[in-house]
Structure 1
Amino acid sequence: MSAPPTYPDEKQEPVLNHVDGPDSDGEATSFTALIAQDHQHEIKLRTMSWQKAAWLLAGDQVCLAIMAQTWSLSVLGWVPGIISMVLAGILFWITSITMHKYIMKNPQIMDICDFGYYVFGKSRIAYEFSGFMLLANNILLIGFHVLTGAKVLNTLSDHSLCTVIFSVIATLMGTVMSLPRTLNHVSFMSIFSAACMGIAILLFLVFAGIEKAPLYGYNGDYPTDGLVRTYAFPLPGTIWVACMNAVLNITFLWVPQILFPTFIAEMERPQDFPKSLAVLTVISAFLFIVPPAIGFRYLGQYSTAPAFGSLGVVAYKKASFAFVIVPTLVIGVIYANVSAKFVYFRIMGKSRHAHSNTVIGWGVWAAVMAGIWAIAFVFSEVVPSMGDFLSLLSAAFDSFFGFIYFAVAYWQLYKGKLFAGVGRSVMTVIYVFIMICGLFMLGPGFYAAVKAIIADYSGGTRPAFSCANLAI
């Protein structure tokens, strides 16, 4: 096992994790040189076309969280809800393009940890902090997908087995599917993932439209809370914590940038990433707004998260929710791949095993991947409410990886000319707003998420490693 990455003094270029060093003149290595070096390895990472990167992005983003947006609309109402969705999409595009520009100037960046290192002035603390945040965020998200897999299996089988067994099944399936080492191979799975989630959404919309009434909502069975209705603004009595969690739910869906540096690093032409991003943005703009809006129209105040739970006919619920098992596992695979690479290259360094088909190389990779899924399984069993913990993730992690990091990156790119012209001045003002959004999520947003979790605990929670039925 090689030693952890070294950090030379500040007069030298850093030697980070699996990042290739500078050339003899001290200039940053070009993408051409990095790709040429990678293609000399037995296992080549930098092989994705922009089309495959677009599939990978779609596979990651077309997910179950879309079906929680109907609930967000039911809390916020049409006006604040749609404004939040559109604004989140605009900020997503702007920050993602800034990330890409920054990486184009620093080709040696291989993941969000390297990105944080350079953005914050080659800070070792920033690197280690980013690494911790990367693993914490991704492993908790994988745990959420393990729990979701157990919910799907519970729902389809009418709770034929203990829920822990279903979680074990989902964990084992995810571990096996995660064995491919390149995102180029994972992108192939993403095609089927996005397609299955699309079918699930379409079936949900059809069933929500043709059924007579929803089954239930958080305020009781239909029609306990009256006939289905929609509204422009939050209903009277809606508390601030609920509204904040609804906004965090929307933000969580739109902020996957923690993965983007790794995606860019595995492209054969990283400069083509904006093409992939444009495809994702068009898909997301439609799927993140239109299906939730239609769902809110038919479910109204009876909307649940995910919205499948509100369907009134059990057969409808099973038919639509069944397709979610594929994206549940594949998205877990994507997050596991990015997480495992960070740990794997910390262990293997630049040894020949890191990029070769050796027994040691594959053995360490499999062990790291199994360890990540095992930890995620534990989290899936001990966390009482993954929904509220996703709000906590959004506040704690997305505040940095969706807003603050990119506001700092923008400042690094344009310092000294932040107000050079009308266009640059406008963008600078936008990035001041982006920084404020990040700090707001980290402050009041984090407080709201914690309050929701406290409320869960006070109302009784699911015991750890419980066999209780989690069917929706």
Structure 2
Amino acid sequence: MIAETISLGILSLPSVLARIGMAPAIILIVGLGALATYTGYVLGQFKAAYPHVHNMADAGEVLLGPFGREFGGAAQTIFLIFVMGSHILTFTIAMNTITGHATCSIVWGVIGFIVLWICTLPRTLKKVSYLSIGSFISICGSVIVTMIAVGVQPSPKLHLDATRTIGFSAAFLSVTNIVFAYAGHVAFFSFISEFRDPREFPKALFLLQATDVSMYIVVATVIYRFTGQDVTSPALGSASNVVMKVAYGIALPTILLAGVIYGHVASKYVYVRIFRGTKHMSRRTMLSIGSWAAITLTFWLIAWIIAESIPNFNNLLSLISALFASWFSYGMSGVFWLFLNWGCYARNWKKMALTALNLFVVAFGAAVCGIGLYASGKAIHEGGGSGSWSCEDNSVS
């Protein structure tokens, strides 16, 4: 769970401190982390009440029947494809950095698309836990190298702000960037299904949240402390030229392995929906092999189009957060609690307080979705398409 949650999202957090100031950014990281802990706990309660739920499609079916199943499955799949796009985008940034923009950014995008697609072709991902651990070690190593480098050689024009006054939409992008860092909830149902004793989930959840909130604060604060307004997003570009090449090299396993896992999960959901109950589920036939290759190719092609269309790292993460993480990590948990406690909202003062809290959670998810879409759309529009479908160097943003 820790390895799945702490991924690319951590790389945008230092720029959040630079955008809105250290104090409000840390308050938001802690506050949204605390709220994500509660919403994750509610997902555990929903899973305990409906043990057959393994993903958002199953949860949607519980709420709204067949329509909910299709809607939840489609939303989860589209979310995963957008995250796959963020991995292709990060791959192009990494390769432009490592090679000194040796070739067109679109070429690096195509290479990333092909490499990630080929790595997703095996229909079974054995030892996924080991891949996740490797991904986690990779991202931790890259940010540690960056923190050490910026600490040894801080920015010569260092300027730090406790708070900053900026426009509302620009400030709200910071909220969506932080929300993306807590976007792992979409996989919680499947994680709980793998537990020998699902009752142990709260312990794992609290460990996860204590770890990611602590890491987010330390990494964001240290990098911002020594780079100030010169911080980049992804944050690995904040170090010196040589060190950031090393940092991106260390981060490549995360960029590739985590991307492959997301691609596999998205493709497997569609594959199972098509071939469930047929011999093609377990046998290697021409139809099963061809269908799997076609599904994975289609999803990675869409992800590549997304990466080329929104080449700004922060803007892409903000859009993903507004469209999907706002609901999967926050809003839907409130809906699940209200569904579980239907008819009991005013039973006692505790139920009334929890009802108010979960109504707030639903409203918060809706607000992040609506305002986040406006803010990210405005940011993308103001970018004027700069860098979209372009050979420009995107290694510094």
- For 2:89, which of 117, 131, 147 is the aligned residue? 147
1:87 pairs, out of 11, 31, 37, with: 31
Q: How does 1:171-320 map to 2 (within 5 A)?
A: 171-182=113-124, 185-213=127-155, 227-234=157-164, 236=165, 238-267=166-195, 269-311=197-239, 313-320=240-247
For 1:87-118, what per-residue CA distance to the aligned partner results, in whole angstroms no more than 9, with x for missing partners? 11111111111112112221222321121221
Shift in Å, 1:392: 1.7
TM-score scaled to structure 2, two decimals? 0.92
Alignment equivalent of 1:448, drawn from 358, 375, 378: 375
CA shift, 1:254, in A, is 1.0
- Displacement of 1:239 in angstroms is 0.9
Aligned to 1:338: 265
Equivalences for 1:63-142 in 2 at 5 Å? 63-119=7-63, 121-122=64-65, 124-142=66-84
Query: Is the Cα contact below 8 Å between 1:177 and 1:333 reproduced in 2?
Result: yes
Separation in 2, partners of 1:188, 1:169: 25
The 8 Å contact of residues 64 and 324 in structure 1, kept in 2 or not, is answered as no
Distance 1:261 1:365 in 2: 24
Q: AA paired with 1:467? A: C
Partner Cα distance (1:96, 1:183) in 2 = 26
Give the structure 2 partner of residue 11 of structure 1: none
CA distance in 1: counterparts of 2:383 and 2:302, whole angstroms: 23
Which whole-Å deviations, capped at 9, do the CAs of 1:342-379 have from their partners, x for residues lacking one? 21012112213213455543443333223211221222
Distance 1:281 1:88, change over 3 A: same
Please show how residues 11-26 of structure 1 align to structure 2 within 5 Å.
Answer: none
Q: Residue 340 of structure 2 aligns with which residue?
A: 413
Aligned residues: 396
* Equivalent-residue separation in structure 1 for 2:337 and 2:140 (angstroms): 35
Alignment correspondent of 1:6: none
Q: Any idea what SS the aligned residue of 1:288 has?
A: helix
State how 1:333-372 maps to structure 2 within 5 Å: 333-358=260-285, 360-372=287-299
Contact kept, 8 Å, 1:183 with 1:266, in 2: the verdict is: no
User: 1:21-60 CA deviation, whole Å, 9 max, x = no partner?
Assistant: xxxxxxxxxxxxxxxxxxxxxxxxxxxxxxxxxxxx2222
| d(CA) in 2 for partners of 1:320, 1:391 | 24
Among 92, 101, 120, the alignment partner of 1:159 is 101
Deviating more after overlay: 262-271 vs 422-431: 262-271
Q: How does 1:34-73 map to 2 (within 5 A)?
A: 57-73=1-17
Judged with a 3 Å threshold, the aligned counterparts in structure 2 of structure 1 residues 424 and 199 are, in CA distance, closer, same or farther, namely: same
CA distance in 2, matches of 1:263, 1:176: 26
Alpha-carbon separation, structure 2, partners of 1:266 and 1:181: 19
Distance 1:230 1:447 in 2: 28
Q: Is the CA contact 1:116–1:405 (under 8 Å) kept in the aligned structure 2?
A: no
Asked whether the equivalents of residues 311 and 394 of structure 2 are also in contact (C-alpha less than 8 Å), the reply is no
Give the Cα separation in 1 of the matches to 2:308 and 2:188.
29
Contact 1:144–1:380, Cα closer than 8 Å, also in 2:
yes
Check whether the contact 1:71–1:305 (CA below 8 A) recurs between aligned residues: yes
The 2-side partners of 1:254 and 1:202 are apart by 20
The answer on whether the counterparts of 1:147 and 1:380 sit within 8 Å (CA) in structure 2 is yes
Assess if the C-alpha contact under 8 Å between 2:15 and 2:232 holds in 1. yes
- The reply on whether 1:462 has 2:358 as its aligned counterpart is no
Q: Which residue of 1 aligns with 2:249?
A: 322
Q: Report sequence identity in percent.
A: 29
Matched residue of 2:186: which SS?
A: coil
- CA distance in structure 2 between the aligned counterparts of 1:212 and 1:289, rounded to whole angstroms: 19
Query: Structure 2 vs 1, CA of residues 463 and 250 (structure 1 numbering), >3 Å: closer, same or farther?
Result: closer
CA distance in 2, matches of 1:451, 1:83: 25
**Partner in structure 2 of residue 217 of structure 1:** none
Distance change in 2, residues 1:418/1:355 (3 Å)? farther
Deviation at 1:304, TM superposition (A): 2.0
- State the one-letter code of the partner of 1:355: S
> Displacement of 1:278 after TM fit?
3.1
Change (3 A) 1:401 1:212: closer
* Offset of residue 380 of structure 1: 1.8
For residues 295 and 206 of structure 2, what CA distance do their matches in structure 1 show? Answer: 33
Q: CA deviation at 1:192?
A: 0.9
**1:182 to partner: Cα distance:** 5.0
Kindly indicate whether the alpha-carbon contact (under 8 Å) linking 2:154 and 2:227 is maintained by their aligned counterparts in 1: no
**Structure 1 unpaired stretches of 5+:** 1-56, 215-226
1:422 CA drift (Å)? 4.4
Residues 227-262 of structure 1 deviation map (CA, whole Å, 9 limit, x = unaligned) = 42222222x4x1111110011100111122222223
> Unaligned 5+ residue runs, structure 2?
none
Aligned to 2:356: 429
Provide the alpha-carbon RMSD of the alignment. 2.2
Note if contact 2:146-2:238 (Cα within 8 Å) is conserved in structure 1: no
